[in-house]
Amino acid sequence: MVVHEWEPFNAEPPRTGLAGLLRTPLDTFYSRNHGPIPDLDPAAWRLTVDGLVERPMDLSLEQLRDRFPEEEVTATLQCAGNRRAGLMAVRDIPGEAPWGSGATSTATFGGIRLADVLAAAGLRAQATHIAFDGADVSPLPDPPQHFGGSVTVGKAQRPEVLLAWTMNGRPLPRVHGAPLRVVVPGWIGARSVKWLTRVTARTTPSDNYFQATAYRILPAGTDPHRAGPGAGISLGPIALNCDILSPDDGARLPAGPTAVSGYALAGDGRTVTRVDVSADGGRSWAEAVLDPPRGPGLWQLWRSVLHLAPGGTGITARAWDSTAALMPASPADLWNPKGYANNSWPTVHVTVESQDAGPS
Ligand SMILES: Nc1nc2c(c(=O)[nH]1)N[C@H]1C(S)=C(S)[C@@H](COP(=O)(O)O)O[C@H]1N2
Ligand SMILES: [Mo]
């Protein structure tokens, strides 16, 4: 793992650690934290469901297990800061981690549907947002605050949105939110709140710092330290993106055909319909072989074989979605003061050895 910070713990796998696998192994899955990782006693832990509901509830893990049917969802989590390094290459973003391609990972999560819990609590018709609170306290807001965020009621009631206690068939690891986390496929990772303690039905989005102030796209001239709650564009559903996972950036490759592979991830409610690969900076493109969509918020793997001339070459990819939207070419057009949502065309630089090169 590439560790960006030890406290709070922030780490991502190298891109090649994600390559070719539908599911990311637990020891490879990225970790994104905003404060110390809490150590919760599962026996004492309770989930509070309150706000605009007919029957507020306080439920233990055992009660959640007994009352609601268990479901599994395979989904990709992606941090809004994924590929921030590509934006930092355009212009520096002080105080934020230079995430590469690895703040994206996929797992099979098991637990219960948030929709079932909301129905049991008697969600009132006026509710338009469902807010989540985590047990961790982040020192980033002033004063320090629990991590939290919200999604719309429409998304909260989707069958793919889970309250999860397993990950790839194992008990949910502490670093990923044990004993219970939210999983919101297709939305920025920040809405998949870990160490969940409270679900609140409201008429407005969460007031939490990580919803109201952070995780927003500010206009390029703005000082993020002066931007107050509500400034900029709130991030929720993620945008179409793709990446090259193999070969690695900087790889030296033997002469002969080059296998290129990666993932593409559509925005909420969409699917990826085509991935193209270019070895000439986007002047010409070859269509990659793309896996079919297998579920909401789940990446689609793709692969291609290129015949590259000896020497240094860039390999670029781009994806199209089911609305015929295409990823933007340039990170410069996307640059924003907090460095979120870089979905520009990814490029890896490789060197292809010439046919007659001996062993190096
Ligand atoms: N309670 C809590 N939940 C959280 C966070 C956090 O710091 N605290 N980080 C969020 C962010 S920004 C992301 S991208 C995902 C990362 O989940 P992971 O660490 O399991 O990969 O968790 C989200 N949920
Ligand atoms: Mo994130």
Residue-wise pLDDT tens digits, 115-151: 999 999 999 999 999 999 999 999 999 999 999 999 9
Are residues 153 and 270 located together in one domain of the fold? Answer: no
Q: Does residue 326 sit within a domain? A: yes
Task: Read off the CATH number of the domain in which 295 is found.
Answer: 2.60.40.650
CA–CA dist 255, 355 (Å, integer): 5
pLDDT of residue 227: 87
Task: Read off the CATH number of the domain in which 69 is found.
Answer: 3.90.420.10
Q: Does residue 19 sit within a domain? A: yes
Q: 333: closest CA among 31, 55, 87, 84?
A: 87
R_g over Cα of the chain? 21
CA–CA dist 319, 329 (Å, integer): 11
> pLDDT per residue over 276-316, tens digit each?
999 999 999 999 999 999 999 999 999 999 999 999 999 99
The whole-angstrom distance between residue 125's C-alpha and the CA centroid of its chain comes to 30
Are residues 102 and 8 located together in one domain of the fold? Answer: yes
- To the question of pTM greater than 0.75 for the whole model, the response is yes
Q: Does residue 171 sit within a domain? A: yes
- Which ligand has an atom closest to residue 139 CA? 1
Number of folded domains in the chain? 2
Q: Does residue 29 sit within a domain? A: yes
pLDDT band at 228 (very low <50, low <70, confident <90, very high): confident
Query: Per-residue pLDDT for 229 more than 60?
Result: yes
pLDDT band at 210 (very low <50, low <70, confident <90, very high): very high
Residue 7, class by beta-carbon neighbours within 10 Å (0-12 exposed, 13-18 middle, 19+ buried)?
exposed
Q: What are the two backbone dihedrals, phi and then psi, of residue 234, each rounded to the nearest 5 degrees?
A: -70, 135
CA–CA dist 280, 226 (Å, integer): 42
Measured by CA distance, the residue closest to atom 9 of ligand 1 is 33
The alpha carbon of 281 and the centre of ligand 1 are apart by a number of angstroms equal to 35
pLDDT band at 360 (very low <50, low <70, confident <90, very high): low
Q: Does residue 359 sit within a domain? A: no
For residue 34 and ligand 1, the question of a CB distance below 6 A is answered with yes
According to DSSP, the β-strands at 71-78 and 104-113 are: antiparallel
The atom of ligand 1 lying closest to the CA of 215 is 12
For residue 194 and ligand 1, the question of a CB distance below 6 A is answered with yes
The alpha carbon of 29 and the centre of ligand 2 are apart by a number of angstroms equal to 13
Query: Distance between terminal CA atoms of the chain?
Result: 27
For residue 189 and ligand 1, the question of a CB distance below 6 A is answered with yes
Q: Does residue 337 sit within a domain? A: yes
The alpha carbon of 106 and the centre of ligand 2 are apart by a number of angstroms equal to 14
For residue 31 and ligand 1, the question of a CB distance below 6 A is answered with yes
CA–CA dist 271, 268 (Å, integer): 8
Q: Does residue 360 sit within a domain? A: no
Are residues 196 and 338 located together in one domain of the fold? Answer: no
The alpha carbon of 359 and the centre of ligand 2 are apart by a number of angstroms equal to 43
Query: Per-residue pLDDT for 206 more than 80?
Result: yes
Are residues 279 and 192 located together in one domain of the fold? Answer: no
Are residues 304 and 191 located together in one domain of the fold? Answer: no
Are residues 295 and 165 located together in one domain of the fold? Answer: no
The alpha carbon of 253 and the centre of ligand 1 are apart by a number of angstroms equal to 36
Query: Per-residue pLDDT for 359 more than 70?
Result: no
